[in-house]
Amino acid sequence: MNRDFLIKMKEQLPPQITLVAVSKFHPLEAIREAYAEGQRVFAESRPQELMSKVEQAQDMPDLQWHFIGHLQTNKLKMVLPYADLVQSVDSQRLLDAIEKWGREHGRRINVLLEMHVALEESKQGFYEEEILDILFRVTQDKAYPHICFKGLMGMASHTDDMEQIRADFTRIKSFLDYLQDLFPELESFKELSIGMSDDYQCAIECGSTMVRIGSAIFGERNYEK
């Protein structure tokens, strides 16, 4: 764990921005070290790994978990009981399944809608029209009563070109502003989860309220494990 980086981030990050420590592929020991420095919000991308870490982290009850990976509808039971926020909702089908789970379990699930802003077609996420359609149904038809829509999440194009990354971040920030004007009744819809280890500074300049930082805190991930 890069303790100096974590301490510096916690000191320098404006208070309205949440630092999400992306602990995927790192052992619980790394989480404990970050916890000892006061870090409380962690994110995982695989249901099984989230579940096993939650079980091992019982002695850190004020720790919060975010889910940031692709979530299959048959894995909801491994994620929704534990996640304080599901950042990576990227399909209508997944939203419908989360709503059904929430209804059955008497819970209201916090989500971000993942927006497709990158150049790569392969990247996940909704297009603007789809997000508009969902939020119209939420506000007009009272759709998804068991889901609390907290804002947008996005990943920039996979490139070193900071101007492209800035353009992606600016697009998602502008869309969030537009949605807030259009749907003032959605009072909780204010989070903008953009920025990772290599582009968080640019994301903060572009209006991020949540940065998701993995390798800069925990070092390189070992995908072999």
Ligand X SMILES: *Cc1c(COP(=O)(O)O)cnc(C)c1O
Residues that bind ligand X (CB under 6 A): 22, 24, 45, 68, 155, 196-198, 212-216
Asked whether the beta carbons of 197 and 181 are under 8 A apart, the reply is no
Is 24 or 76 the residue whose CB approaches ligand X more closely? 24
CB of 222 to ligand X, least distance (A): 12
SS3 59: coil
CB of 207 to ligand X, least distance (A): 17
CB of 104 to ligand X, least distance (A): 27
For 88-148, the three-class secondary structure string (H helix, E strand, C coil) is: EECCHHHHHHHHHHHHHHCCCEEEEEEECCCCCCCCCCECHHHHHHHHHHHHHCCCCCCEE
Is 49 or 198 the residue whose CB approaches ligand X more closely? 198
Nearest-CB residue for ligand X: 214
The DSSP output letter for 172 is H
Is 138 or 192 the residue whose CB approaches ligand X more closely? 192
CB of 216 to ligand X, least distance (A): 6
CB of 141 to ligand X, least distance (A): 30
Query: 36-43: long-range contacts (C-beta < 8 A, 24 or more apart)?
Result: 37/3, 37/6, 37/7, 37/10, 38/10, 39/6, 39/10, 40/64, 41/66, 41/84, 42/66, 43/67, 43/68, 43/87, 43/212
Is 45 or 208 the residue whose CB approaches ligand X more closely? 45
Is 138 or 210 the residue whose CB approaches ligand X more closely? 210
